[in-house]
Amino acid sequence: MLTVFYLDQGLLCQDVVQGGGGGGLPPSTVWIDLLSPTRDEERLVEVWTEIEVPTREEMQEIELSSRLYVEGRAMVMTMPIINKATTEAPESAAITFIIVDGRMITVRYVDPVPFSMFIRRISRNPAMIADGEKALMGLLEQIADRLADILEGATADLEALSRQVFVSADDQPRGSKDLRRILQNVGRTGDLATRAKDSLLGLNRLLLFLSAQASFKKDARSRIKTLMRDATSIAEHANFLSSKVSFLLDATLGLINIEQNNIIKIFSVAAVAFLPPTLIASIYGMNFQVMPELGWRFGYLWAIGLMLLSAIVPLWYFRRRKWL
């Protein structure tokens, strides 16, 4: 889908160009958004701007020279952004930003939250995208805000998981099924923190690239410095989150080992407790020729009572030593 944002007498207008056709580009265009574009839509933008739009395969390349470069009149920047952060399967997707002739072009194959939020903001305040530089800075600030929100939500989730992990056994029984669920949630949060750090790394590289461009205005440079400080503080929070994820992961695995050891201990104690009755039953099952208890009226009750006593005494001793 190809969407063109332009200003008309101070009002923000947007047109969706269907099928890669339509007339020329409005002269007051400030943002061209390509969402899962077809080849015809890419060719149309290339005709409008006289630049080459990166393909999806080129956007996936990890070399820094392939993600941040100047080609003719255009500055091309690609960074990963978190998508579907609130679902069970968050993902990272590459998005390309292009600044050419005072306009911003975005190429993306996902629809992350920052884009929809930014579109709503500029609809209320069109001055935010008076030109391509302001549009780019506003969108990058929205992405940084979204990353901060994601990490704040992940921190709250970890706090809740921490309370579940370290809750007293008297307050809430904890079984292996609960620990398995906690382990899955900790793993999901850790994956989200890793993707956030990857996105922050891409944002920092992009901002360093922008700060080295002499064509940017003074106001944009000031916003770049502020955004770099914000990105640094968010990255520190992401590092703290990763450390807490590792701590909770080790704690959960330790509790799972304790649960398994408790189960093994119960079986071991049961085996030891029933060993004396088994021994007594084996002795009386040998059928010796001379065994006085065989002709005794109370011999059967004596054997049963002896077996019970030999089982109760070890259990009492184990409980007294606090082994149970």
Burial of 87 (0-12, 13-18, 19+ CB in 10 A): exposed
Q: What is the mean pLDDT of residues 123-136?
A: 86
Whether the predicted pLDDT of 10 surpasses 80: no
Residue 15: per-residue pLDDT: 82
Q: Which of 161-170, 220-229, 256-265 has the highest mean pLDDT?
A: 220-229
Angle at 186 between CA 92 and CA 191, to 5 degrees: 15
What residues contact 200, with CB distance under 8 A and at least 6 apart?
Answer: 147, 231, 234, 235, 238
Parallel/antiparallel/unpaired status of strands 29-35 and 2-8: antiparallel
For residue range 272-317, what is the model confidence (pLDDT) as tens digits? 777 877 877 777 776 666 677 767 788 778 888 888 888 788 778 7
Kindly state the percentage of the chain with pLDDT values over 90. 12
Q: Could you say which of 3.30.460.20, 3.40.50.300, 3.30.200.20, 3.30.1360.30 is the CATH number of the domain covering 2-260? A: 3.30.460.20
Kindly state the percentage of the chain with pLDDT values over 70. 92
Cα separation of 267 and 264, whole Å?
5
**Contact criterion met (CB below 8 Å) for 102 and 96:** no
Provide the mean pLDDT of the chain: 83
Residue 141: per-residue pLDDT: 92
Whether the predicted pLDDT of 96 surpasses 70: yes
For residue range 67-95, what is the model confidence (pLDDT) as tens digits? 888 888 889 999 999 888 888 888 889 99
Q: What is the mean pLDDT of residues 220-243?
A: 87
In the chain, where are the structural domains located? 2-260, 274-320
For residue range 163-200, what is the model confidence (pLDDT) as tens digits? 877 775 555 544 445 777 888 888 888 888 888 888 99
Q: What is the mean pLDDT of residues 138-148?
A: 92
Enumerate the β-bridge partners of residue 100.
103
Lowest mean pLDDT among 54-68, 160-174, 201-215, 220-234: 160-174
Q: What is the mean pLDDT of residues 241-257?
A: 84
Residue 34: per-residue pLDDT: 92
